[in-house]
Amino acid sequence: MIGFDIGSFYTKIGSFDKKNTKLNNMIIERTPHNCIENGYIKDINLLFQFLNEILKKNFLKEKKLFFCVSSTDIIIREIIMPMMKDDELKSALKYEIDQYIPNSDEYIIDYKQIDNDEDSKKTKVMIVAAPKNMISEYVKLTDMLKMRIEVIDVYSNCIYKSVNKLCKLKGSVSIVNIGAAYTDITLLNEGKYAFSRIVQFGGNDITEIIANMYNIDFNSAEEYKRTKPFLIDDEQYSDLKEHIKEHLNSKLNEISRIFDFFESSYHKSLNGIQLIGGTSKLIGLGKYIEEYFKIPVSASDDDLYTYFIPVLGSMIRGE
């Protein structure tokens, strides 16, 4: 099995053996420019050439393909339904879908039971709707690669499954996946999926601030971002830090409202924040977020946890 996470900045690919809890082979490469935008494939021919070369070099024997995708156009809703048999629930959801998914005929829709309350005889159901024109391009790409598509899954579900398998987190935790353009926020309560949201914020925002301040190109600003401690040095980088803090605070305020919704819904406070994604490696970012929220923040130096949690989760089935 092979999992793909094609991000706007990096593409992450890994193979998985069910006998092992970790990926056997992990490849991370820079995604060709303008191939992916908000989860949509924009240049399928260039993307095919890019992925085909990687597969030839590293994954010749693999044929089963799993995708994890993230987009603000993917609709995810968590609803409460009476407990019932699966076939009954499937039928009942047909009448609920139109309340939550406008123009539902334009989407591919699936659902998953994520929690049962035996006392109230209620079940929480995650409904996911992905635009048909988005999914069709991944199917076409798989055909071009001469592989067999097994699953297209969403980030929040993939993150939930991976973290549950690897960490068994206790309490109330937010997994914050900060990518190049978007941040996926997945809330877990006692190891169970609660809900997820996407915020339009990523490492590219900071790179662009640096490029504009110093009048340098994007690649030079990207290298500067990766190596300079501007979030923790108040003297040498004071002007830059102020500009970045202003932008960061506005985005963290958006995330704060998501945390507030969780706390009001579950009547408990968050115990911790786990940072993943390439931007989580930014020097001083974890400490800055911890001071902002007054909640313990952790991140890992292990590439599996930083980059490949969604890839691993796409290949974990039945959880």
pLDDT digits (tens, 9 = 90+) for 11-21: 999 998 777 66
Q: In this predicted model, what pLDDT tens digit does every residue of 197-249 receive, in sequence order?
A: 999 999 999 999 999 999 999 999 999 999 999 998 778 888 899 999 999 99
Question: Angle CA(219)–CA(224)–CA(229) in degrees, nearest 5?
Answer: 155
- Tallying the residues shown for the chain, one arrives at 319
DSSP string over 101-158: STTGGGEEEEEEEEEEETTTTEEEEEEEEEEHHHHHHHHHHHHHTT-EEEEEEEHHHH
**One-letter identity of residue 237:** Y
Closest among 175, 149, 183 to 252, alpha carbons compared: 183
d(Cα 207, Cα 227) in Å, to the nearest integer?
12
Quick count: other Cβ atoms within 10 Å of Cβ 39? 24
d(Cα 283, Cα 286) in Å, to the nearest integer?
8
Partners of residue 110 on adjacent β-strands: 128
Residues 6+ apart with CB under 8 A from 234: 241
Q: Interhelix angle for 285-293 vs 238-266, to 10°?
A: 50
Is the sign of the CA dihedral 28, 30, 34, 35 positive or negative? Answer: negative
Q: Which residues of the chain have pLDDT under 50?
A: none
CATH topology (fold) of 73-130: Dna Ligase; domain 1 (3.30.1490)
Closest among 53, 7, 4, 55 to 30, alpha carbons compared: 7
Element (H, E) at 25: strand 23-30
- How much is the pLDDT for 227? 92
- How much is the pLDDT for 91? 85
d(Cα 158, Cα 131) in Å, to the nearest integer?
19
Q: What's this model's pTM, rounded to 2 decimal places?
A: 0.90
- How much is the pLDDT for 78? 87
The boundaries of every CATH 3.30.1490.300 domain in the chain are 73-130
Four-point Cα dihedral 8, 152, 150, 109, nearest 10: -160
Closest among 50, 56, 12 to 33, alpha carbons compared: 50
Strands 64-69 and 75-82, by their bridges, are unpaired
d(Cα 90, Cα 125) in Å, to the nearest integer?
11
Is there a contact between 11 and 51 (Cβ–Cβ < 8 Å)?
yes
Domain 1-69+131-163, CATH 1.10.10.10 — does that match? no
Domain 166-305, CATH 3.40.718.10 — does that match? no
The boundaries of every CATH 3.30.420.40 domain in the chain are 1-69+131-163, 166-305
- How much is the pLDDT for 144? 96
